[in-house]
């Protein structure tokens, strides 16, 4: 049996207090294995981003446990969590902005700087990551002057520059035309095949979801189906467990909800950097 890379048990997340309480996740138990490609799908507001933030240790559950490599994470100190996110995870979030006034190269270098990699080595690695996403020739451009698809590729370069175990992507193709979206997708899957990076992707995009080995369908904070276990977890839900593919029309309509504004509202501080304190060479 393979040991899970990330395991959750009975995850619950409640936002707000008293009258404003909202249960965004209502008991999520899953194992994600090393090297898997996992799509988290479901309607807008179903809890996908919330689950992703918890899996990525960007936020704490109200109840339940998350283990990473069989280690419980609840009691880890902020410093250790930052180090884990920096070294083991890569993020491709639309709301995870680049520093648009800085160069492409400096944006990709950032995680290495945080990790304390020497300046020569970080330059070498950042250029290699930019080559992977075929943006090496733009390294000295201001990030601001790139197209949407190019920015997304810079995000991917930054996500892989530390050789992460897992890439978390929240709607990675959300704002892209379909041709560009396809390029981003094939890039992510190539990283999975060639480097064994686990992909956890929140998406409304059926084609992207179907490319993943595994689809986890979330509805009202519950898992209603998981293609790996192939269980209809009907005891978890009070109403119908309809196939999420039928919801495409619905989700398309709401696709705009799942955007930067919505994310920013509850976006934890992902970077956790104190750049000012960084020693400039
Ligand atoms: N910080 C927050 N405060 C209150 N409610 C929130 C917060 N973040 C998310 N929610 C609510 O939790 C539910 C799930 O949100 P989210 O995980 O972003 O859904 P999805 O990514 O599936 O669209 C939504 O109803 C949303 O309004
Ligand atoms: Mg979302």
Per-residue pLDDT of the chain (281 residues; tens, 9 = 90+): 568 999 999 999 999 999 999 999 999 999 999 999 999 999 999 999 999 999 999 999 999 999 999 999 999 999 999 999 999 999 998 766 788 899 999 999 999 999 999 999 999 999 999 999 999 999 999 999 999 889 989 999 999 999 999 999 999 988 888 888 888 899 999 999 999 999 999 998 888 999 999 999 999 999 999 998 765 544 444 444 344 444 443 333 333 333 333 333 333 333 333 333 334 33
Cβ of 225 less than 6 Å from ligand 1: no
**47, 260, 262, 264, best to mutate for ligand 1 pocket (most atoms within 8 Å of CB):** 47
Q: Which two tokens stand for residue 202?
A: 């929140």
| Fold (topology level) of 4-270 | Rossmann fold (3.40.50)
| Alpha carbon of 272 to ligand 2 centroid (Å) | 21
Q: Which residue, among 126, 89, 118, has the nearest Cα to 272 in the 3D structure?
A: 89
| Alpha carbon of 48 to ligand 2 centroid (Å) | 5
Contact 60, 53 (CB under 8 A): no
Residue 17's CB is within 10 A of a number of other CB atoms, namely: 7
Cβ of 96 less than 6 Å from ligand 1: no
Q: Which residue, among 267, 225, 228, has the nearest Cα to 247 in the 3D structure?
A: 225
Q: Where are the domains of the chain?
A: 4-270
φ, ψ of residue 27 in degrees (nearest 5): 105, 80
Nearest CA to ligand 1 atom 24: 45
217: β partners: 41, 225
Model-level pTM?
Answer: 0.82
Length of the chain in terms of residues written: 281
| Alpha carbon of 195 to ligand 2 centroid (Å) | 27
279 vs 114: CA distance, rounded Å: 10
Cβ of 106 less than 6 Å from ligand 1: no
Cα–Cα distances in angstroms (integers) from residue 221 to residues 50, 78, 157, in the given order: 9, 26, 32
Those residues whose C-beta lies under 8 Å from the C-beta of residue 54, and which sit 6 or more positions away, are 8, 11, 13, 25, 60, 61, 66
What pLDDT does 277 receive?
A: 36
Residue with tokens 């930054």: 158
What pLDDT does 49 receive?
A: 94
φ, ψ of residue 218 in degrees (nearest 5): -105, 135
Phi-psi region of 47 (alpha: psi -120 to 50; beta: other; left: phi over 0): left
277 vs 114: CA distance, rounded Å: 10
- Provide the CB-side half-sphere exposure for 156 (13 A, CA): 29
Nearest CA to ligand 1 atom 25: 45
Q: Convert the pLDDT of each residue in 146-167 to its tens digit.
A: 998 899 899 999 999 999 999 9
In what helix (H) or strand (E) does residue 158 lie, and over which residues does it extend?
Answer: helix 148-160
């Amino acid at each position: 049996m393979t040991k899970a890379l990330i395991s959750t048990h009975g995850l619950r997340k409640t936002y707000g207090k008293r009258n404003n309480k909202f249960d965004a996740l209502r008991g999520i138990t899953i194992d994600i294995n090393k090297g898997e490609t996992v799509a988290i799908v479901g309607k807008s507001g179903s809890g996908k981003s919330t689950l992703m933030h918890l899996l990525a240790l960007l936020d704490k559950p109200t109840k339940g446990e998350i283990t990473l490599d069989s280690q419980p994470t609840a009691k880890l100190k902020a410093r250790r969590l930052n180090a884990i996110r920096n070294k083991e995870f890569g993020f491709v979030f639309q709301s995870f902005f680049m520093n648009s006034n800085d160069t492409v190269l400096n944006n990709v270098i950032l995680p290495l700087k945080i990790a304390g990699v020497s300046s020569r080595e970080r330059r070498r690695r950042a250029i290699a990551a930019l080559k992977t996403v075929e943006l090496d020739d733009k390294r000295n451009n201001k990030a601001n002057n790139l197209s949407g698809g190019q920015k997304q590729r810079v995000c991917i370069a930054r996500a892989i520059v530390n050789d992460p175990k897992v890439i978390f992507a929240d709607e990675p193709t959300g704002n892209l035309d379909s041709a560009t979206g396809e390029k981003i997708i094939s890039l992510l899957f190539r990283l999975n095949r060639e480097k064994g990076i686990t992909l956890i992707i929140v998406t409304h995009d059926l084609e992207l979801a179907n490319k993943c080995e595994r689809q986890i369908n979330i509805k009202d904070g519950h898992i209603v189906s998981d293609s790996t276990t192939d269980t209809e977890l009907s005891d978890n839900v009070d109403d119908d467990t309809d196939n999420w593919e039928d919801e495409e029309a619905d989700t398309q309509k709401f696709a705009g909800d799942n955007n930067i504004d919505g994310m920013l509202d509850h976006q934890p501080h992902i970077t956790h950097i104190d750049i000012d304190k960084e020693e400039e060479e």
